[in-house]
Amino acid sequence: MILVVGANGMLGQDLLKQLPGEVQGIDLPDIDITSFESIQAAIDRFRPRIVVNSAAYTDVDGCESNTELAMQVNGEGVAMLAMATRGVGAKLVQVSTDYVFDGAKGSPYLEDDPTGPLSVYGESKLAGELNARFNPDHLIVRTQWLYGLHGKNFVETMLKLAADKDELAVVTDQIGSPTWTADLAAAIRALIERDCRGTYHAANSGFCSWNDFAGAIFAESGISIRLNPLTTDKLNRPARRPLYSTLDCGKLAADTGFTPQPWQEALKQYLKQRKG
């Protein structure tokens, strides 16, 4: 049996639909991943052979002023999950992020490239990666720029803003791969089915800026709006972001035969599903 922790979240709900075999989900208040007793009780209850952790504190700017909470949820919680799963011989699948990199490489990141997070969020997620390794039977899946049907995301924010505005300024100097949670869930399924271990990158193929992504959202939705360029430094956000954090997903394709579709196609499918 596969247990999805953080099952009520945007990725968690897609994992419940797509993972193979018997799948159960758990989330607050039935599990608190900052409490070992709570984690152990869930493991004892479900006796899973695989635990997929999609629970996280994902407010990137909020993490800057809530360092302790970020580390508890994204770092220490994973250590406790690793110890509990190791204790019953279960695999731990940990979802991580491109924010473990500094974005200075200038080409897509490989799994074994040096990490160098710029933010508390990135540091806490890197701590989670390191802690996941307490369980030798671990799978770390890094992804980026997630959007999906079951949570707040960039696509919905852009569509909401476009309903009230004639023009928007969107960042042009951050480059990455917009990734639909349904496609990420399919990639995680492929990795689980092949019993993969270690670290993998999984994101929709191709890359763009946030400004390009916004333009595609509006074009696919038939919305006419003026998009102005904006640089990251003008935003003055609390947390620093990597400017070029595209992930090389070649290892995923080589080891599973699964290649996530281009981000443009994923966006089209997402927009059709949200209307349906």
Residues with a known catalytic role = 121
Handedness of CA 122, 127, 128, 130 (dihedral sign): positive
DSSP state of 100: G
71 in Cβ contact with 79 (< 8 Å): no
Collapsed DSSP state (helix, strand, coil) of residue 147: strand
As a whole number of angstroms, the distance between CA 275 and CA 156 comes to 12
Contact 100, 141 (CB under 8 A): no
Measuring CA to CA, how many Å separate 30 from each of 8, 90, 92?
11, 20, 19
How many whole angstroms separate alpha carbon 18 and alpha carbon 3? 13
Q: Can you tell me the distance from the alpha carbon of 60 to that of 162, in angstroms, rounded to the nearest whole number?
A: 24
CB 84 within 8 A of CB 40: yes
Q: How far apart are the first and last CA of the chain?
A: 31
Cα 246 off chain centre by: 13
Residue among 12, 7, 3 at smallest CA distance from 146:
12
Specify whether the CB–CB gap between 263 and 177 falls below 8 A.
yes
